Amino acid sequence: MIIDFQTDPSRYRHWKIEVDGQTATLWMDVDENGGLVEGYELKLNSYDLGVDIELNDAVQRLRFEHPEVKVVLLRSAKDRVFCAGANIRMLAGSSHAHKVNFCKFTNETRNAMEGAGAASGQHYICVVNGTAAGGGYELALAADHIVLVDDGSASVSLPEVPLLAVLPGTGGLTRVTDKRKVRRDRADVFCTIEEGIKGQRAADWRLVDDVVPNSKLDALLGERCAEFAAKSDRPSDQGGISFSPLSREIGEAHVRYTHVSVELERSERVATISIIGPEHGAPSSAEDAHAQGDEFWPLALARELDDAILHLRSNEPEVALIQIKTQGDPQMVLAYDRFMASHSGNWLIREITAYWTRVLKRVDLTARSLVALIEPGSCFAGTLAELVFATDRSYMLVGQFDGDNRAEASLLLGEANFGLHPMSNGISRLETRFLGEPEAFEQAKGSIGSALDAEEADELGLITFAYDDIDWEDEVRLFIEERASFSPDGLTGMEANLRFAGPETMETKIFGRLTAWQNWIFQRPNAVGPDGALRRYGSGQRPDYDFTRV
């Protein structure tokens, strides 16, 4: 079965969007029988990847299709239940790869919600009207503000350790301590009690922000919505951009879009992502960009690349290496970057820039070896050059291939490479690359706008290797063969360690811990063995643990 990350509100089974002026309400009403695959029921607003695919789509549409929305209320449509978290039967029956990819995608969606306030001026308020357990509370944790209904039954909990022998996989532990700054001993208590915490105690421990009886809920929400809306600079009088379905062809060994193609060599365990640069010049005004809608090149490309990365993650688990190539005019790419920079105050341009930041982070966080191949005719410039610095290695051709009349390979830096698209560690990819060489970072900055050939790019430290056409084919082939021979587990751990040098942030902690801790715990018999907690949950039988500490 191919997992499709494309959807739209007309196909939602689990969410409903209601817009009322500057406030939107995102209602969670999970269809019990609407699981992504058969074998489990999504009771009590529990969720699987299909529910999160819809949530991701809704978060994107609220940003692009509703510029007037300044506040999003996240609510449950079910009485006395907010969300029971990730569906346990789904987790118990899923492959290890699916579980970890599910947790990663869910985290990325939560991060998009968390970043919406600063990047888009769109703030999230979560209303917990019942049980918010595990992933349900983690969903609430992604909001800017949490309101807990004080009715004697509504509670928040992270019961994964006592109940399931796993961790809150979408960053729950980290968000409790680093985001909400709950005291360590209180966090220890909170994360080891199954029933959770209710009422004023939840507020006193900073697990929620407001506790309010049902009779005063509407009044409080009105106040909080007004407060957060006052912080927003989103326009109230401009129309949004509608997202139409992507033009996409999925074949036996390819996925092809308008600006992106993915070619698969499964026998070699290699996927090649090829990106086509802009065919037309940048528009003359933000109004012209708006008129192009979702066909505006930077937006269209971001959507396609995002979908291609997600497709490879979930549907091609044995691909070891992703090659990234481009074709086009690098000066036209830089012209689009300059256009975006000159209209950065426009709400739509700001949204597209923020979307590119999220897509590039998605590339950073993909558990595949990544290599950029900079060949004649390529357009790795500005924003697209970020893909070179996101890869584990980059190879650039010196000169041209014999008989090739395309322009010599070049690499062009732009302002976009110096802080516009920070990594999860909060700094740019070039800053991360040159952590120990600040002078190299400044030299790179001095080359903005220059078409660098392979020798120049190599001298500046912007690529890994430069080869002429005599050595190119053999060197690239040897690298691919070597990479495919290594243990995928070892590579995932190595790459995750090496990609995020520099500052530690809540985001790097979340994904680092997901890669290491959850990747390990999800394979331990205490969790997933035949007598483990996930298998025995709800059976009335206690799990059988190996009590050896390691």
- In three-state form (DSSP H/G/I as H, E/B as E, the rest C), the secondary structure along 435-479 is CCCHHHHHHHHCCCCCCECHHHHHHCCCCCEEECHHHHHHHHHHH
Q: Are residues 449 and 313 in the same domain?
A: yes
Angle at which helices 297-315 and 330-342 cross, to 10°: 110
Question: Does residue 396 belong to any structural domain of this protein?
Answer: yes
Q: Is the pLDDT at 12 greater than 90, yes or no? A: yes
Q: Read off the pLDDT of each residue in 151-172 and give the average, rounded to a whole number.
A: 93
21-77 pLDDT, tens per residue?
A: 999 999 999 999 999 999 999 999 999 999 999 999 999 999 999 999 999 999 999
Q: Read off the pLDDT of each residue in 462-483 and give the average, rounded to a whole number.
A: 96
Q: Which residue has the tokens 């996101």?
A: 390
172-199 pLDDT, tens per residue?
A: 999 999 999 999 999 999 999 999 999 9
pTM of the model: 0.96
420-447 pLDDT, tens per residue?
A: 999 999 999 999 999 999 999 999 999 9
CATH of the domain at 136: 3.90.226.10
Q: Are residues 314 and 453 in the same domain?
A: yes
Q: Is the pLDDT at 239 greater than 90, yes or no? A: yes
Q: Are residues 402 and 262 in the same domain?
A: yes
Q: Read off the pLDDT of each residue in 222-232 and give the average, rounded to a whole number.
A: 98
Domain with 390, as residue range(s), is 249-492
Residue 550: predicted pLDDT = 82
> What is the Cα 494 distance to its own chain's centre?
20
* CA 544 – CA 430 distance, rounded (Å): 49
Residue 187: predicted pLDDT = 97
Residue that is last in its domain, among 230, 259, 282:
230
Q: Are residues 50 and 196 in the same domain?
A: yes
| Strand-pair partners of 370 | 322
Q: Are residues 268 and 223 in the same domain?
A: no
Residue that is last in its domain, among 470, 492, 514:
492
Residue that is last in its domain, among 169, 202, 230:
230
Question: Does residue 526 belong to any structural domain of this protein?
Answer: no
277-320 pLDDT, tens per residue?
A: 999 999 999 999 999 999 999 999 999 999 999 999 999 999 99
Q: Is the pLDDT at 520 greater than 90, yes or no? A: no
Question: Does residue 541 belong to any structural domain of this protein?
Answer: no
Confidence of residue 522 (pLDDT cuts 50, 70, 90): confident
User: Which ranges of 365-434 would DSSP assign to H, the alpha helix?
Assistant: 386-390, 429-433
The tally of domains found in the chain comes to 2
User: Which ranges of 47-159 would DSSP assign to H, the alpha helix?
Assistant: 49-64, 88-93, 96-120, 135-141
Q: Are residues 210 and 255 in the same domain?
A: no
How many angstroms separate the most distant Cα atoms in the chain? 78
Q: Are residues 295 and 155 in the same domain?
A: no
Question: Does residue 118 belong to any structural domain of this protein?
Answer: yes
Please say whether the beta carbons of 234 and 347 come within 8 A: yes
Confidence of residue 403 (pLDDT cuts 50, 70, 90): confident
* CA 342 – CA 360 distance, rounded (Å): 21
Question: Does residue 239 belong to any structural domain of this protein?
Answer: no
Q: Are residues 210 and 261 in the same domain?
A: no
Which residues neighbour 506 within 8 Å (Cβ) at sequence distance 6 or greater?
A: 171, 174, 175, 178, 179
Confidence of residue 538 (pLDDT cuts 50, 70, 90): confident
Q: Are residues 370 and 226 in the same domain?
A: no
List, as own/partner pairs, every contact residues 91-94 make where C-beta atoms lie below 8 angstroms and the sequence separation is at least 24, other chains included.
Answer: 91/164, 91/166, 91/534, 92/528, 92/534, 92/535, 92/537, 93/39, 93/40
Residue 169: predicted pLDDT = 86
Q: Are residues 310 and 222 in the same domain?
A: no
Question: Does residue 142 belong to any structural domain of this protein?
Answer: yes
255-264, 440-449, 472-481, 492-501: least confident range: 492-501
Let me know the angle formed at the C-alpha of 212 by 209 and 218, rounded to the nearest 5 degrees.
105
Q: Is the pLDDT at 519 greater than 90, yes or no? A: no
* CA 5 – CA 271 distance, rounded (Å): 19
Q: Are residues 164 and 272 in the same domain?
A: no
Please say whether the beta carbons of 58 and 15 come within 8 A: yes
Q: Are residues 153 and 225 in the same domain?
A: yes
Q: Is the pLDDT at 516 greater than 90, yes or no? A: no
Question: Does residue 501 belong to any structural domain of this protein?
Answer: no
Report which residue type is found at 260: V
327-337 pLDDT, tens per residue?
A: 999 999 999 99
Let me know the angle formed at the C-alpha of 545 by 542 and 549, rounded to the nearest 5 degrees.
150
Neighbours of 482 (CB within 10 A): 10
Question: Does residue 5 belong to any structural domain of this protein?
Answer: no
